[in-house]
Amino acid sequence: MKSIYWFRNDLRVDDNLSLNEAIESSDEILFVYIQDVKNLNDTEWKFTRMDSHRKLYISQGLNALQERLGSYGHSLNYYLGDTVGGLNNLVKKFQIDRIYCESIDSHEELDEEKRLRDHKIDLYSLYQSGLFLNDQIPFHLNDLPDVFTKFRKDIELRNINPIKPSLVNEKINAIISIVDEESITFNLQQKDYSKSSFPISENRFFGGEDKGFKYLEYYFSSNKPATYKKTRNELMGTGFSTKFSPWLATGYISARQVYDFLLSYESNVIKNESTYWIFFELLWREYFRLIFKKYGKKIFHKHGLGFSEEKVRHSPENFELWKEGRTHSDFINAGMTELKETGFLSNRMRQIVASFLVNELSCDWRAGAAWFESQLIDYDVFSNHCNWAYIAGHGTDPRGGRHFNLMKQKLMYDPQEIYEKYWL
pLDDT band at 75 (very low <50, low <70, confident <90, very high): very high
Looking at the predicted structure, is the pLDDT value of residue 248 above 80? yes
Looking at the predicted structure, is the pLDDT value of residue 117 above 70? yes
- Beta-bridge mates of residue 6: 32, 101
Q: What is the end-to-end Cα distance of the chain in Å, rounded?
A: 58
At 119, phi and psi to the nearest 5? -80, 10
Distance CA 181, CA 77 (A): 9
Query: In the prediction, which pLDDT does 335 show?
Result: 98
Q: Which amino acid is at 26?
A: S
Looking at the predicted structure, is the pLDDT value of residue 395 above 90? no
Instruction: Say if CB 37 and CB 132 are below 8 A apart.
Output: no
Nearest to 250, CA basis, from 113, 381, 71: 381
In this prediction the pTM is 0.96
- Beta-bridge mates of residue 101: 6, 125
Query: In the prediction, which pLDDT does 312 show?
Result: 83
CA distances from 66 to 74, 167, 378 (A): 8, 17, 21
- Beta-bridge mates of residue 4: 30, 99
* Angle between helix 330-342 and helix 347-355 axes, rounded to 10 deg: 120
Domains annotated for the chain, with CATH where assigned, are: 2-128 (3.40.50.620), 207-296 (1.25.40.80), 301-423 (1.10.579.10)
Q: State pLDDT tens for residues 197-230.
A: 999 999 999 999 999 999 999 999 999 999 999 9
Looking at the predicted structure, is the pLDDT value of residue 131 above 70? yes
Query: In the prediction, which pLDDT does 139 show?
Result: 85
pLDDT over 70 percentage in the chain: 99
Distance CA 112, CA 122 (A): 13
Looking at the predicted structure, is the pLDDT value of residue 333 above 80? yes
Half-sphere exposure of 166 (CA within 13 A, CB side): 13
Strands (DSSP E) contained in 60-144 are 76-81, 98-102, 123-126
Query: In the prediction, which pLDDT does 398 show?
Result: 64
Q: How many residues would you count in the chain?
A: 424
Query: In the prediction, which pLDDT does 358 show?
Result: 96
Nearest to 380, CA basis, from 281, 237, 310, 238: 281
Looking at the predicted structure, is the pLDDT value of residue 185 above 90? no
Looking at the predicted structure, is the pLDDT value of residue 140 above 70? yes
Region of 306 on the Ramachandran plot (φ > 0 left; ψ -120 to 50 alpha; else beta): left
Query: In the prediction, which pLDDT does 186 show?
Result: 75
Looking at the predicted structure, is the pLDDT value of residue 356 above 80? yes
pLDDT over 90 percentage in the chain: 91
Q: Which amino acid is at 96?
A: I
Q: What share of the chain is helix, strand, coil (3-state, %, to 5)?
A: 50, 10, 40
Looking at the predicted structure, is the pLDDT value of residue 310 above 80? no
Distance CA 17, CA 247 (A): 18
Q: Which amino acid is at 10?
A: D
Distance CA 216, CA 198 (A): 15
Distance CA 76, CA 80 (A): 13
Long-range (24+ apart) CB contacts under 8 A made by 230-236 are: 230/274, 232/277, 232/347, 232/348, 233/346, 233/347, 233/348, 233/413, 234/346, 234/348, 234/413, 235/346, 235/348, 235/349, 235/413, 235/414, 235/419, 236/197, 236/346, 236/418, 236/419, 236/422
Looking at the predicted structure, is the pLDDT value of residue 306 above 80? no
Query: Picking from 84-93, 144-153, 301-310, which range would have the lowest pLDDT averaged per residue?
Result: 301-310
Distance CA 41, CA 26 (A): 36
Distance CA 170, CA 274 (A): 37
pLDDT band at 89 (very low <50, low <70, confident <90, very high): very high
CA distances from 119 to 22, 92, 116, 327, 415 (A): 20, 11, 5, 50, 59
Query: Picking from 269-283, 297-311, 367-381, which range would have the lowest pLDDT averaged per residue?
Result: 297-311
Helix boundaries (H) for 224-364: 224-231, 245-249, 255-268, 273-295, 316-323, 330-342, 347-355
Cβ neighbours of residue 33 closer than 8 Å, sequence gap 6 or more: 6, 7, 11, 62, 65, 76, 77, 78, 79, 186
Query: Picking from 141-155, 171-185, 244-258, 385-399, which range would have the lowest pLDDT averaged per residue?
Result: 385-399
